[in-house]
Every structure is written in structure tokens, then in C-alpha cells.
Amino acid sequence: MKLFAGNSNRQLAESVAKYLGVSVGRANVRRFADDEIFVEIQENVRGEDIFILQSTSRPANDHLMELLILIDAFRRSSARRITAVLPYFGYARQDRRAQGRTPISAKLVANLITEAGADRVLTLDLHAGQIQGFFDIPTDNLYAVPVMARDIKAKYKNLNDVMIVSPDVGGVVRARSLAKRLDDTMLAIVDKRRDRPGESEVMNVIGDVSGKDCFLIDDIIDSGGTLCNAAEALLKDGAKSVTAYITHGVLSGAAVDRIESSKLKELVITDSIQPTAEVTAAKKVRVVSITDLIGEAIARTAHEQSVSSLFD
């Protein structure tokens, strides 16, 4: 088994390699003067079980092309099996035709990864579970909920005043899973209406959050508008505090500034996307690592063991 990485999340790749007791494989991923991507594998991989760790985060198109070219390079170098490890799967929010004459880009990206030569995919907290079915190769979708539950338990010894909150109806399954791991804590839902992409208006809080330490849970934070509005609504309804636990910290544009000036007590994200200097410097943003989760999933895949039992 050998682990390689593109340029999207070298820090996580190094941490996962350390967990596995290996070194990140030697590969030169660079650009020509016109920004074309060039890949050279600098060690023998014939007959090897290859894992390529690469989040398709910003710049999404560059990192996606790096992944595709890496896969092609390993396929042409006679690797026995190639697993694309995507801690963050970009384009996942384009998983259906919300209106006429629009693409299903998540399916297109799945086709590209498959046609490039990947034998299987390992990813984390897909925006929509049905994206697994977009791939014609085995696909394991990991969940960050155990990491979040462990962090909450470490910081809050008394869970009686804790309430898990889904920022929308679509995230109830994820929120319920976290609540179950926290000794079946209570659950609330924020009902919102979205008029335009990137904008949301909170309409109502379903559940009694009065006097509770609320934990908003979601898979992606992009502009931060939804979470900030939800925090205000929860505090208005009597919540004692509001903390957000989000798997993928996209945090585009002025999102970090928005979080810093919001009523959120804290935003906790994973390192599925490599934190920027702005994120690292933010006082209200904290990063927890998914190294153990990704590393263990890779190890089990390499040894043909169950991955789903990680979440039993």
C-alpha cells in the first residue's frame, strides 16, 4: 500500500501517512508556463495498492484536474488498484436539476474520476448520500459525526443542557445521528426559506431551545449566512449559546469575517479542506483533525476489512 497526494491538502496527507506508518509517495505535480498540469511518479508503483489523497477544494478545477491526471499516471504505471481519497468532494451541491437547462455536475465529476481509471472512491460527508450511486465503482462515504461527538463530550461533561440543531430539514438525519451518539440528546430544527443561492431567511425554530447550549451541525459552510442567521434565531428563542460543527469549511469570500462578527460562540470545522491563514488566525474558528478517521478507513480498505463498522 502506498499513499500519494496532490497539492490540495498536503498537511492532512502528511498526518495520515504518519498514522499509517508510511511516507507520502514521491510524485512531482507541477505546472507548465501556461498552467497545464504535469505529473511524474518518482518511484516504482507496479502492482501496488495506491491511495491518492486529494480534496477538490478551491481552486476546485485545478485540484480536480490534478486528481484526474494523477489517477491516469498511476493507471499507466501498472498500479494494481487505485483508490481516490477525497476528504472533500467538490461539485457535490450540484447533485440534481433544481431548474430547467442546468447540469448535474456531481454526476459528471463521478464519471471523470471513473473514466480516469480509479478503482474505488473514499470520501467524507457527501452533501447528498445519493451521490454514491453516481459512481460505477465501489464508493465509501465516511461520516465526521464520531469526531464531532468525541469533541463535544470532551468539552461538555454535562449533556443535559445540550441540544443538537439541524440548520434545515434536509440535515435532520445527520443531526439525529450526532444526538444519538450524545446519549440521545434533544433535537431541534431551523426552518428557513432560501430565495437566492448564498442567501437564506430563517423563518422558525422547531423545538424548545430555551436555556440550552445549541450545537448546529451541517456538512458544508460556504458564505456562512445560513449559520449566522440560524444562531440569531436560536438566541432570540432563548438559547444559552450557539456553537456550529461543520465538516467542510469552504468559507469563501467574507465568510470568516462574517463568522467573527456573528453571535456564534464558536465554529468547529475539520481539516478536510486545508485551513487558510485567515481561518487559522480567526478567534472563533477551531479546526479538529480527521486524520485518524481517514487513516483507519485507508488501512481497512487496504486490508480488505469493513469500513462501515467504523460507525457502528
* Residues annotated catalytic, as ranges: 192
Paired residues of 202 in beta bridges: 192
Is 226 annotated for ligand binding?
A: yes
The whole-angstrom separation of Cα 64 and Cα 90 is 8
213 is in an annotated binding site: no
The CA distance from 64 to 57, in Å, is 8
Residue 93 assigned to a binding site: yes
Residue 177 annotated as lining a ligand binding site? no
Cα gap 208→238, rounded to integer Å: 9
Q: Is 127 annotated as a binding residue?
A: yes
Q: Is 222 annotated as a binding residue?
A: yes
- Could you give the angle at which helices 60-76 and 105-116 cross, rounded to 10 degrees? 30
Note whether 71 and 82 are within 8 A (CB): yes
Phi, psi of 252 (to 5 degrees): -85, 160
Q: Does 36 count as an annotated binding residue?
A: yes
183 is in an annotated binding site: no
Per the annotation, does 211 bind a ligand?
A: no
Strand order in the sheet with 266-270: 201-206, 186-193, 162-166, 213-221, 241-249, 266-270, 285-288
Q: To the nearest 5 percent, what fractions of the chain are helix, strand and coil?
A: 35, 25, 40
What whole-number distance in Å separates Cα of residue 199 and Cα of residue 64? 27
| 34 belongs to an annotated ligand binding site | yes
224 annotated ligand binder: yes
What number of CA atoms fall less than 13 Å from residue 45's CA on the CB side? 29
Annotated binding site for Mg(2+): 127, 168
Annotated binding site for D-ribose 5-phosphate: 194, 218, 222-226
Annotated binding site for ATP: 34-36, 93-94
Annotated binding site: 34-36, 93-94, 127, 168, 194, 218, 222-226
